[in-house]
Copies of this chain bind each other. A is one copy, B any other.
Amino acid sequence: MKPYVLGIDIGGTNTVFGIVDARGVVIASNSIKTQKYHKFEDYLNELYTEAKKIIEANDAVDKIYGIGIGAPNANYYTGMIDTAANLPWETPLALADLVSKKFGIPVAITNDANAAAIGEMTYGAARGLKDFIMITLGTGVGSGIVINGQLVYGHDGYAGELGHLIVKRNNGRLCGCGRTGCLETYCSATGVARTAREFLEARTEASLLRNIPIEDITSKDVYDAAINGDKIAKEIFEYTGKILGEAMADMTVFSSPEAFIIFGGLAKSGELLLKPMREAMEKNMLPIFKGKAKVLLSELKEADAAVLGASALGWEAKTTPIPAATVAPATAVTV
C-alpha cells in the first residue's frame, strides 16, 4: 500500500496542502491563495504545480494513496461543490473529478468540519471512538458526527449542520443562513462578539471592553478581558457556554455520543467556556445520559489540523465506493 496521502484544505483565504503519513505526521506542507484565480482551472494548475514540488522534494512520487479535500459545502457523495459563498469559482463545481483527473489519484471530498472529525478519529482525540460529535467553534459553528465509526452524511451528503440547530425559537439572532436563532449566532467567535455588543449596550457597568470601539470587539478581546478579571467578559463566556451546553444535551438524545470533541479558535478559551458548557450540558441532560458524555479538546495541532483532517479522508478515497462520476481513472498525469 502506498504510504502517503495528500491533504488539501480549501479555505476562503488560503488553500493549505500537505503530504501525510499513516501515523498523521505531516511530511511537508505549503499553501497558495484561494482567491488569486477566478477560474478554477488556473487555481488547479497552481495547486498542482506547488503540490508537485513538495511531492518530488520528498521522494513521494507514486507514493500517494489518495487525496482528501476539505472545502466549504463539499459533498462527499457527489464530489461536487454546489454553492459556496466564500469561494471565487463558478459553482456547481465537480471538485473531486477535476482534482482527480489533474493528479491522476483518487480523490474524496467533504466539508471542513467533517474532515476535522475524520482527522480526529484517524490521528487525534477520537482514536478508538465509534460514536462522537466533533464541534468546531470558529467564525461559525461546524460539526462532524460519527456513529458506528462512520461519518454521518445523510441521504444527500449534507448532514451534520449542528451550528444551525435553533437554540432561540423566539427573538433569536439573524443567521447567515437566513433564519434566526441558530446555535452559531451565539456560540461562534462572531457570536461571542455579538453577545459582547448586546451586553455592553444593555448594561452600564464598567468593563475593559468599553475601551474598544464596540463594532471592533472580537472574541479575542472578550477572552483577554475575561482573563484580566473583567466581570462582563466572564459573563459573556458563561452565557455562551450555557447555550452550547444546552444544545449538546439535545444532541445527546439524538446519537448518545461517547464524547464531544471541541475544536477551533474559541476552544482556546479553555475553562472560561468549557466550565459553563459542561455544567449546562449535565444540568440539561436526559437522566439516562447524565455523566456519560466526555468533553474532549481536539488533539490535532492547530497548524496541521486542517491538512490532517483533509488528508485522513484520502485514506478513504479508494476504499469507499465513490460514484464513478467523481473519481477519474488513475491515468492522466502521474506525479
Contacts and interface: CB of A to CB of B under 8 A. Distances in A.
Q: Is the interface of A mostly helix, strand, loop or mixed?
A: loop
A152 B255 CA distance: 7
A250 B169 CA distance: 11
Contacts of A131: 154-155, 159
Interface residues of A, number: 43
Interface in A256-308: 256-258, 284, 286-289, 292
Contacts of A332: none
A254 B251 contact: yes
B160 A254 contact: yes
B284 A162 contact: no
Contacts of A161: 253, 286, 288
A253 B140 CA distance: 15
A131 to B, nearest CB: 4
Interface string A153-196: 11111111110111111000000011100000000000000000
A145 B254 contact: yes
Contacts of A168: 169
A20 B129 CA distance: 37
A168 B257 CA distance: 23
B256 A155 contact: yes
B159 A255 contact: yes
Given A131-B154, A150-B148, A289-B158, A249 B166 contact: yes
